[in-house]
Amino acid sequence: MLDDFFIRAMLAGIGVALIAGPFGCFIVWRRLSYFGDTLSHGALLGVAFAFFFSFNIVLSVFIVSALIAMSLLWLQKQSNLSADALLGLLSHSSLALGLVVLALMGSRLDLQGLLFGDILAVSKIDILIIYSGAFFGLFILYYIWHALFAATVSHDLAEAEGLRPEFHQIIFTFLLAGLIAVAMKIVGILLITALLIIPAASARNLAQSPEKMAILAALLGGLSVIGGLFSSLNWDTPSGPSIVVVALIVFILSLLPFSYFRGKR
């Protein structure tokens, strides 16, 4: 059954969505959506390096994303520019650099696939990578969840009461870089942030606790993948964007009936 490309795509997409949900919650809470964008743009540079050194793509993307994240943390301490401007600088220059390097190598790479994902070409090995990565990432996140959430509410409070917010933030950043390396193949560079943020935003409209929001984001992400792939099959639309469109529809639905009953301000 795993030979069927559609089933493989489904499994891979759900795997990525399950881990993207909880991580997406932190991206929403910490206002990191542009940061996620920057890391995913940097992924293209990672792909370029992978071709240049004939190196594993996932590993190369992870390394480049992690390096970009670390240089951002470093630049924030050194420079007078705002985090926002630094992100723009890193984001677009790494994207441009990646494109230039790829062109110089004369690579006739499927750019469309990189940008929008190629979920229908997922192999069994990819699924193995995704699920072991997701298991590892969720395990670590579960372990640091409480401390990371406390640090998200208040860095000072966490630090004062004996947690290590900086340390947990670095771990989170590395895991995010890893997630992007894995997810790139599924929804593509341009749509990773969407898969991170939209299910989390939908979950925010329905959940009453941070933990429930994380679980709900994972489930809604999985739902979006299933819906997106089926509609892609039905109407012959590109799979990555279809997933995001379904996620958007889920978000709009989450706005409509439920907020009416909850009496939220």
Partner 1 sequence: MDALITMRQAGFYRDNRWLVQDIDLDLREGEVVTLIGPNGSGKSTTAKLALGILKPDAGKIVRRHDLKVGYVPQKLSIDWTMPLTVARFLDLTGKVNQTDKISAIHETDISQLLKKNVQSLSGGEFQRVLLARSIARKPNLLVLDEPVQGVDFKGEVELYELISSIRDILSCGILMISHDLHVVMAKTDRVLCLNNHICCSGTPKSVIETKQYRDLFGDRANNILAVYEHNHDHQHLPDGRVLHEDGTITKTCHHNNKNRRKVMKDAR
Could you list the residues that contact partner 1 (CB under 8 A)?
28-29, 31, 146-147, 149-150, 152-154, 156-163, 204, 207-210, 212-213, 264-265
| Minimum distance of partner 1 from residue 146's CB (angstroms) | 7
| Minimum distance of partner 1 from residue 150's CB (angstroms) | 5
Nearer to partner 1, 96 or 153 (CB): 153
Nearer to partner 1, 92 or 212 (CB): 212
| Minimum distance of partner 1 from residue 28's CB (angstroms) | 5
What type of residue is 210? P
Nearer to partner 1, 156 or 236 (CB): 156
User: Do 33 and 47 contact (CB within 8 A), yes or no?
Assistant: no
* Closest CA relative to residue 21, chosen from 222, 264, 244: 222
Nearer to partner 1, 90 or 163 (CB): 163
* Closest CA relative to residue 47, chosen from 91, 101, 93: 101
- Which residues, other chains included, contact 189 with Cβ-Cβ below 8 Å and sequence gap of 6+? 40, 41, 43, 44, 114, 115
Alpha carbon distance 250, 254 (integer Å): 6
| Minimum distance of partner 1 from residue 207's CB (angstroms) | 5
